[in-house]
Amino acid sequence: MSEVAVRTLLRDLAATRGIALELVAGAAGVDRRITNPHPQKTGLALSGFDQYLREGRVLVLGESEIRFLESLESAQRVEVVRRVFAHDIPCLVVTAGFDPPPELAPEADRVNLPLLRSRAATPLVMARLSTALDVYLAASAVVHGVLMDILGLGVLIVGESGIGKSECALDLVVRGHRLVADDAVELRARAESFLIGTCPELTRHHMEIRGLGLINVQDLFGVASTRRSKRVELVVQLERWDLTREYDRLGLDEAHYETLGVRVPMIRMPVAPGRNLAILVEVAARNQLLRNGGLNSARRLADRLDAELGRAREHADIDFGEEI
């Protein structure tokens, strides 16, 4: 199961300024693990209906929860808090700048439960937490290939080792496109509907070219030649030309690359001497951009041919009677 420590969440949210979280109590528990990207509010849990509190989810206390706790006597508050803290909750966040009830911090320290506070409104806190946690907890995989940003389209180039993926990517960089990752591409499924590709920190901006060795693309071509991440919207699979195989010549066949439960349009591109792969991949990206906009050139031409053939058949069926 994917998980992230509360400590990591605090550190990265502070670094990105996504949201300001203050650690009020329970510092000894910052290594607790969050396993669910969706924060939860207590709802009726404070009034005793707590069986629906889910383990591994950040618990958020907004104005209604704080006001309810303030309406209780001290002994009742302790009883309620202990009942809630008996669940496996990774951390507790008090929103809207409210001061936690006085019994909350000691109880958090007692069970080593991180108690956090934010001045932001509850909806904003839950949205920012959910966005950050979705990145950490998304299903992930590492793919051998090259990820490029071509005209704003994320293109993942895959194929067997030595087929020319990195050389093709270098040619694309020279043509003004941007490198995201070479050799190892980290993929994460977001919202179970699309893939985000990044590069491992250790190899970021680097590319391996046989005969040249390792090069730093950003140092050679400038900061505009790379980017940190990109959504994968097209996969180009390079294959050695097989004379016994029939390849799509019209562009009507629709293939897909599937990983992490997400399907991405894919093109199988045969590799042979004399074929300029960089230009072909760039044209494939341009064509995919047109398709994304609803313009399928191959389908449109096929429809026109079908219409012409239909008209030809209609004229062929006309009976003009006997010849004079």
In the residue annotation, 88 being an active-site residue is answered as no
In the residue annotation, 210 being an active-site residue is answered as no
Candidate list 245, 249, 313, 315, residue with the active-site label = 249
In the residue annotation, 165 being an active-site residue is answered as yes
92: three-class secondary structure by DSSP:
strand
| Torsion angles phi and psi, residue 46, rounded to 5 | -70, -25
Number of H helices, E strands in the chain: 9, 17
Tell me how crowded residue 2 is: count the other CB atoms within 10 A of its CB.
15
Taking each helix axis as running N to C, give the angle between helix 104-111 and helix 74-85, from 0 to 180 degrees, rounded to the nearest 10.
30
Candidate list 57, 77, 177, 183, residue with the active-site label = 183
CA 164 – CA 4 distance, rounded (Å): 37
Candidate list 144, 256, 263, 286, residue with the active-site label = 144
CA 199 – CA 187 distance, rounded (Å): 9
Candidate list 165, 177, 188, 230, residue with the active-site label = 165
223: three-class secondary structure by DSSP:
helix
In the residue annotation, 249 being an active-site residue is answered as yes
Active-site amino acid positions: 144, 165, 183, 249
